[in-house]
Structure formats: structure tokens, C-alpha cells
Structure 1
Amino acid sequence: MKIIVPMAGKGSRLRPHTLTVPKPLIPIAGKPIVQRLVEDIAKVAGEKIDEVAFIIGDFGAEVEASLIKIAENLGAKASIYTQDIALGTAHAIKCAEASMTGNVVVAFADTLFRADFTLDTNSDGVIWVKKVDDPSAFGVVKLDDYGFITDFIEKPQTFISDLAIIGIYYFNSGEKLMDEINHIMDNDIKVSGEYQLTTALENLRQKGAKFSLGKVDDWMDCGNKNATVETNGKILEYEKDEFTEFPQSANIQNSLIIQPCYIGEGVEISNSKIGPYVSLGKGTKVINSNIDNSLIQEKTIIDHGNLSNSMIGSSAQYFGVAREISLGDFSVLDFLSK
């Protein structure tokens, strides 16, 4: 089985954190989003992952090396493709056409999920969905009385269904999907100016393909700062048994840690209260601070911070008392000297 991961988007809603790091590589509880995604898929796939194909933008050699390592850690081959221009979800998959053979899982690197199921590899495909309050921002599906999908609709402006496609799909034939994607691109069939995967899925359905429904227990968005901080907290709660011990290189003095928290290698904490639901990346230093429900990346300094629902990037410095902030990599915010 292969995993195809389109991840070339700029992540503009998560700026300033995506100005220096592609969104799928932002760590959540110590692991990049995309690493957590492919590991979660591998757990539920039920068979060996032979290849992980990443569709990226102009991210550079260092990012490509990180992605190759993620695939190799699963015992899989890594393939890297580039999407130079964002022309829609179907176009993104087209960029990885050489890898679209046999059984494939397509997973867009925008979200994380929790689910407990066995993948039905005998069906034509499985589309994972989640009920949402506002389906107008998503592709949605309609079902028949037997639970099979009868319609795929991209971002409906009037209510049709509240079953939103979360961006994870299984296909028993990557070749058949590519035939439909090539058809809509060759004939310039667009929705809202882009080549949409839902168009290809609807074409396959009309030709007799049976798509079943995959439901997730939790769908965790990483689209903006608030959603990413919330997802960090959920992952810490789900995996709290993995965070009961801190690395020996961490130096914690005169401080209270309220679990669950992720404490990275070389973290220094003094005279502070940390947690619950806080991630502190490798080499970060926290002094005289109270922090809860926040995501702090690597090699950052926080002094006299009183932070909640906050996200701070790597190699940043924060001195002050604000309750909620979003501070990007290599930034300095100093309230103490004023």
C-alpha cells in the first residue's frame, strides 16, 4: 500500500508560524504534523506501507531530507514531487501520478485524526468524513439507505449534507482515480477555478464505483493558531501515557508541571508552573512563568510569561505578562523593558 500526501499549501492562515516552516512540519507534542499523520494511517491500514509520496512546494533540501526520514522510519520508500502552482486538490494528486498505482491512501496534511477501524481493501474506496456545523467550507457527501455514497458536492452554499470530507481517502486502484483526474484536467473541468478531487470521485461513482464511509472519532484541525493549540492539547491527552517521564537532559527547578505536557530534550524550567496541555520544544528555556494550553517550539526563551492559548515559534524571545499571543520564529517581544 502507498500513502500519498499533498502538502504544498502555504499555510497562510497559520502565519507567522508558516513563514519559516511549512505547516505540515510544525511540531505537535514533539512530532511534525505530517509525521503524526502518516504514522496514524500506518496503524489503521492493516498492511505494510511500501511507499510514502510527498507533494511539496519549494521547501528546500532540508525539508525533503526530513520527509524521506519519516518514510524510512515506516520501512517505506520515500518519493518527493513538487507542485509549482496550486490548481486544486486533483491537480496536487496529478503531480504524484507516477506513484498512483495499486492500493493508495491519499491524505492531505492539514489535519490529524483519531479512529479505530479496519480498512476494507475490498471496496472501490473509502472516504473519511465527520459531521460539522458549517459544511459550506468543505466537500461533503450524501448517502443512500445502505450507507454508500450517492453524491460528492464541493463546498455547497445551501445545505445538502453535514458529512464533511476530512481529506483522507482510500482507493483500491490508483490508476482508475488517475484516469478521472486526467479526464477533468484534459477537458479543463473546474469548480471555483480549480481541478477538484470531488469531481473525479463523482465521475467514478457515476461509472459504478462503490465508495463506503469511514468515520473518525476525532478530527483535529491545524489550520490556524487556535485550532493548532487545541490539537496540541488533544494529542497530549490522547497520548498522555507517553509523556509521564521527562528526558534526563531537561533541567526543572522549583517548578510545578501539571500533566499532560511534552517536555523536549534540553528544556530548562525554573520558578514556573507549566501545564496542563503545554508542549515545550527542544532547548527552550522558561523562567518565572505560568503557562497552560500552549505550544512553544525549540530554542525559545520565555521570562515572566503568563500565557494561555498561545503559540510561539522557534528561537523566539518573550518577556512580559500577556495572556494570549502568537509569536513567530526568531521574533522578540519584550514588555519588561518598557
Structure 2
Amino acid sequence: VSAHLDTVFPEGTDVTVKRDGNKLMAPGIADDTRGLAVMLALIRVLDAGKIETASDILFVASVGEEGLGDLRGMKHLFLKGPYKDKIKTFIDLDGGVPNRVVTTSLGSRRYRLTFTGPGGHSYGAFGTVNPMYAMGEFLVEFGKTKVAPQSSYSASVASGGTSVNAIPGESSMEIDMRSASPAELTRIEARMKEIVEAAAANENKARSTKSGSIGVKFVLLGDRPAGSMALPKSVNAGDSNIPVTVKTESPLPLFAYEAIKKHGLTPEFTASSTDSNVAMSIGIPAITISAGAGDRAHALDEWADAGKEISMRQFGIVMTTVLATAGMK
């Protein structure tokens, strides 16, 4: 059972909690500070109630879930650490909608692309190849790429140049590509690289390379694996076109489904990128469920609902799912 310690906000962000009725407002309070609080509360309840489970429960506070963290905490836990090959089932507590169960993990690849060139004076070297033009062509063409359902891409951060009157020596941008299908993610990545190379070649043909030509650099910033659970036929609401990486039909999704249903909500299976990605990708049954209600995740005005009724409902969903999975003596 895991919740993540990190948030999307940089060091130095004011995280002072403000209260407005049942709303607790602070950056990161719902994603995933509350998940950590619910996990600690669950430990206390199990201890206070002297509840013994049939299977051992390992509680983990992970790192690297957000941004460029690249799931490094989960990769260590499942692929390198002392618990490698020992974990049979994984339940992730995170922000999100209270009735949703993540059973499909969106894989992602993130790159920093850099177009390089000789640079020069904007007037004196006019006609020299310009990496900014190559990057612009890439953006236009990449934006035309068609993708399968539960797939996406985004040009996110751009930089380059030193002065308004200088041809830039380099132009860089960061690209995010996602898909629930490993094959589709690989296809999008290959298409991205193809367009980058073509844009560089076209710029070298269009303008002078006397002082140097346009080159390209690819730096992989993140590689999150995709995965998907085989859902029970009785509640199967998944996309049949998404490859299943957890071949065994685990009761785990059904446990969460029934727990949510018993607490008065309508369960919904969904896809997302969470700490469950790594487990699912290597065939370990895994889900991500919400630790409570809230909104505005990743924004400075993020908030969590601390109302007793809602909080206890969600805690009940979490505890029921965990105990059903671990079994009780």
C-alpha cells in the first residue's frame, strides 16, 4: 500500500494550509499529502483494532511520482530493492475522483529535443540555417500526428536564443507522449523522431550551411511503462484494444469496485499515470484509488475536503479494499 511524498511544486512554495469550512487549501494537500495521512490512519486503525491479516502488508511512502521523477521510487521498489519479486499485489492511494479506480496505466516518454546550428548576426548572417525554423516546422508537422484512443502528446516547454538580433545557436523544447498501449507509445515516439530529422534536413536544404548545419540532440527525460489489468467480466468496462499486461484475472479491481459501490458511489474504471504503472507493467495486480474528495490538483489553490462524512466514506473504501485484498485471520 503506497502514497507518494513528492508534489509538483518547487522547493520554497508556500504550503501554509488555509481552511474554509470543510475545505483545506494548500499546494499538494490532495495530491498526495492526504494519501499519506490516510495511509498512516489505516496503520493506526489496524494496530488499535489488533487486526491480523492473512498476508503481510508493506506500507510505502514513495518518491518520484510527479513530473520528472520518472517513478524512481516505484522502479526501485519493484525492480531493484529488497522487496523485488516479493510483492504480489499493489494498492496506490492518490488524489483523484472518489469513485474512480485506475486499472489502466498510461505509459509515457518525455524528451528534450535540441536543434543546433552555427548562429550568427540576424542581418549580417541572414540566410544562414536557423534552428528556430527547424523547430517550428517540427511543431507544425508533429501536431498533425494521429493517435489511438487513450493516447496523447504535447509540446510543453520551449527555449532558445540569446538576443533579438542574433540567429540562435540552438533551440530546445520538451515533449510529452503518452499511451495505454506500449506499441502505440513506441509508434508515436518513432514518428516524433522521424519528423525531427526531416525538419532538420529541410532547414539545411532551405538555407545556407556554409557556417555549419542544423543538428539534433535527443535527451530522454522520462520513461514510464504502460500496463493494464484484466477486469472481471461482470464489471468489465475497459477498452478491449488496450493490451493487458496483468494476465491473471485478479479480484483486486472487483474488491475496489464493490467497496465503492457499498459506500454509495457508482464505481468507474479509468486510465491514468500513477505509481501503479510499474507494478502493472511487470504483471503484478495493481490499482490506484482515491484517498478522498478535492479539486484543483497541481494548482496553488488545490484543496481537499476534510468533512467527516466524506472523509470517513473514503477511508472506508480504502480500508475495505486493503483488508479484502490482504485477507483476515
Considering the TM-score relative to the shorter chain, is it more than 0.5?
Answer: no
TM-score, normalised by the number of residues in structure 1: 0.29
**Highest CA radius of gyration, 1 or 2?**
2
Greater helix share, structure number: 2
Greater strand share, structure number: 1
TM-score, normalised by the number of residues in structure 2: 0.29
Higher relative contact order (CA 8 A, sep 6+): 2
